Amino acid sequence: MSAGRFLTLEGGEGVGKSTQARALAAALETRGIHVVLTREPGGSEGAEAIRDLLMQGDVRRWSAHAEALLFAAARADHVEKRIRPMVDAGSWVICDRFIDSTRAYQGAQGIDDAAILALHGFGSRGLLPDRTLLLTLPDGEGDRRAQARDGGAADRFAARDDGFHRSVAATFDRIARDEADRVRRIDASGRVEQVTQRLIDAIADLLP
């Protein structure tokens, strides 16, 4: 049995993470790899229940600190109940968002990066992906795609202002610069199949 792998897709709203997670899963399955597709917040029964708490309601429903704890709790359950067991069993787990989203989004609300990583160390034993694929688009393009998809109905996070989303993008960029071994920036413009090929190129060294 070949080794399991843990891949994450990251980026701002509407850049194509869910579309590419599905396309990458299909491409890997054609190579005979067993793939588990999952997402955050959510991915296990307990984490999906926490997702409902996080995604619904007023923008100010939770304090920034409470929100960071809820994301960490959801991830701890997801990692223990689903991600680690599936990777240990030899599957490739593709997760739509993970710890870097917390660093970017909760970081944009003033939560310190070191505190987020400390919570991750405790809750999820510091699990990091084998590769993180950071999808990038020119400013405003992801928003346009998301609005075309949602018809203007935004969740608690997407509804925040441009300054918030600029801060999210800047943190993703910083993480990609500082952790270049793990994180690859992927141009998400062009046709879906072109973007998928860029993702495959960015994990070529991990393929069996």
Ligand X SMILES: Nc1ncnc2c1ncn2[C@@H]1O[C@H](COP(=O)(O)OP(=O)(O)OP(=O)(O)O)[C@@H](O)[C@H]1O
The footprint of ligand LXEULUCI (CB under 6 A) covers 13, 39-41, 71, 97, 101-102, 105-106, 155, 157-158
Cis (ω within 30 of 0) for the bond into 41? yes
Work out what residue 101 binds among ligand X, ligand LXEULUCI, none; the CB cut-off runs from 5 to 8 Å by kind: ligand LXEULUCI
Nearer to ligand LXEULUCI by C-beta: 59 or 89?
59
Q: Which residues bind ligand X (CB under 6 A)?
A: 13-19, 145-146, 149, 191-192, 195
State the minimum distance, in angstroms, from the CB of residue 74 to ligand LXEULUCI.
Answer: 8
Return the one option of ligand X, ligand LXEULUCI, none that residue 123 interacts with (CB less than 5 to 8 A, by type).
Answer: none
Mapped onto helix, strand or coil, the DSSP state of residue 124 is coil
Q: How far is it, in rounded angstroms, from Cα 50 to Cα 46?
A: 6
Q: Which of 103, 94, 98, 92 has the alpha carbon at shortest distance from 127?
A: 98
CA-to-CA distance for 73 and 56, rounded, in angstroms? Answer: 17
Count Cβ atoms below 10 Å from residue 124 Cβ, excluding itself: 21
3-state secondary structure at position 110: coil
166 binds, among ligand X, ligand LXEULUCI, none (CB under 5 to 8 A by kind): none
Residue 12 marked in a binding site: yes
Pick one of ligand LXEULUCI, ligand X, none as the site partner of residue 168 (Cβ within 5 to 8 A by kind).
Answer: none
113-123 and 64-78 helices cross at what angle (nearest 10)? 30
Annotated binding site for ATP: 11-18
